[in-house]
Structure 1
Amino acid sequence: MNRPCTPARPSYLRVVRASAWYDLAVTAGFATPWTYTPVHHALSSLGDSLGWGVLPAPDTWQTLYANLMGSVVTVWAALRIVRPLPLHGLLDAVARVLFSSWMAYALAHGAPRILWPFLTLEITWGITQLALWPRTGHTRPVAGPAADRTHPAAGRTDRHPLDTPNR
Structure 2
Amino acid sequence: MWQAEHYRRVVRASGWYDLIVTAAFATPWSFMALHGFLSTLSQALNLPGELPPFEATHMLMANLLGSIVCVWAVLRIRDPQLQFGRYDAVGRLLFAAWQGYALMHGATTLLVGFLVVELAWAVMQLWPVAGCGSRLGGDRVRSARKGVID
| Shorter-chain TM-score range | 0.7 to 0.9
Cα deviation code 1:85-139 (max 9, x no counterpart): 0000000000001000000000011111111111110011001111244541653
| Structure with a larger share of its residues in helix | 2
Aligned to 2:138: 139
Offset at 1:164? 2.5
Displacement of 1:51 in angstroms is 1.3
Which protein is bigger by CA-based radius of gyration?
1
2-side partners of 1:11 and 1:140: how far apart? 17
In the alignment, the residues of structure 1 paired with residue 26 and residue 17 of structure 2 have an alpha-carbon distance, to the nearest angstrom, of 15
Contact 1:30 1:66 in 2 (8 A): yes
Q: Which amino acid aligns with 2:19?
A: L
Aligned counterparts, 1:119-130, within 5 A: 119-130=115-126
C-alpha deviation, 1:165, in angstroms: 2.4
Alignment of 1:1-167 (within 5 A): 9-52=4-47, 53-133=49-129, 135-136=132-133, 138-141=137-140, 164-165=147-148
Q: CA RMSD in A?
A: 2.3
Give structure 1 stretches of 5+ with no counterpart. Answer: 1-7, 148-159
- Runs of 4 or more consecutive aligned structure 1 residues displaced over 6 Å after TM superposition: none
Identity %: 44
Contact kept? 2:26, 2:62, Cα under 8 Å:
yes
Contact 2:25 2:66 in 1 (8 A): yes
Mean CA deviation greater in 81-90 or 8-17: 8-17
Distance 1:125 1:38, change over 3 A: same
Consecutive unaligned residues of structure 2, counting only runs of 5 or more, are: none
TM-score by length of 1: 0.78
Q: Flag the 1:163–1:123 CA change in 2: closer, same or farther, 3 A.
A: farther
After TM superposition, the structure 1 stretch with the greater mean CA deviation from structure 2, 51-60 or 126-135, is: 126-135
Distance 1:11 1:65, change over 3 A: same
The CA distance in 1 between the partners of 2:141 and 2:92, in whole Å, is: 31
Measure how far apart 1:55 and its partner are: 1.0
Total equivalences in the alignment:
143
